[in-house]
Amino acid sequence: MNSETKNTIINALQNSKRITTSIDKNVTRGDIRLVTDPEGKLAGRYGVVIAINPLREVASVALLSNLPNLATVRDFVALSSKTNAPFDVAVITDGINDIELSQIANSPRIGKICRSCLFTIKNQSQSLDFDATIKPIFTDCLNQGHYKIQVGDPVWNLRNQEFLHWNDLCLTVDENMLILREGLKIREFIDQNDFIVSINSNESIEIIQNLDSSNLDLIRC
């Protein structure tokens, strides 16, 4: 989260102001979009949106590569004929990171991966079996990668460089600020709708109660 975003949230907290968002409502799960650097210093990388947290305005995104022939058994290949993207992509399942939604809000959607495939990608990223690929269910959109990577070979080095770049490009999670943002969003929702709301985040409840405990009536779930 950059300093401008932090200052906006802190200012809203101190002055009991609402915060507004310019996030593109058309950003959805499965979108293939360019992830840009908020500071404008790093080259962008394409990714596919795995999940979205609208309260925190962050998304989980899997790194994509335009070198599908170098996809390993941990990766998947998504053909352009299935995604409508202008090129085939390798989905790097070990490269799922969080980003600010604003990093893709102004990037056009160049393709789409179906939700069944997103489920498979997420499961593969969580698998501890590094020599096996989880088979896609109810879809033929993804193909298994076949490149047998070896420690120290050129592809190993290339992937390490890409992971380092991707990590620099993605969100360095400032958990406290994300909780505050989430709290402000929920408070704004309550203000606008004027009814009791049930939510699951105890941390957010505590944040909101500290902000304006006299005007909120919250139910813990």
- Print pLDDT tens along the chain (221 aa): 456 655 655 555 455 544 444 455 688 999 999 999 988 899 999 999 999 887 778 899 999 999 999 999 889 999 999 999 999 999 999 999 999 888 998 899 999 999 889 988 988 888 766 666 666 666 678 998 888 888 889 989 999 999 999 999 987 656 666 666 666 666 665 555 443 333 344 444 444 444 443 333 332 22
* Rounded distance between C-alpha atoms, residue 140 and residue 152, angstroms: 33
E strands of 5-115, at which residues? 31-35, 45-53, 58-65, 76-78, 89-100, 111-112
* Rounded distance between C-alpha atoms, residue 16 and residue 14, angstroms: 6
Write down all domains in the chain, each with its CATH number in brackets. 3-169 (2.30.30.110), 175-220 (no CATH)
| Res 106: pLDDT | 87
3-state SS class at 78:
strand
| Res 93: pLDDT | 92
* Rounded distance between C-alpha atoms, residue 87 and residue 71, angstroms: 15
With a CB cutoff of 8 Å and minimum separation 6, the contacts of 6 are: 174, 177
Task: Specify which residues 35 forms β-bridges with.
Answer: 45
| Res 95: pLDDT | 93
| Res 183: pLDDT | 67
* Rounded distance between C-alpha atoms, residue 97 and residue 103, angstroms: 13
| N-term to C-term CA, the chain | 29
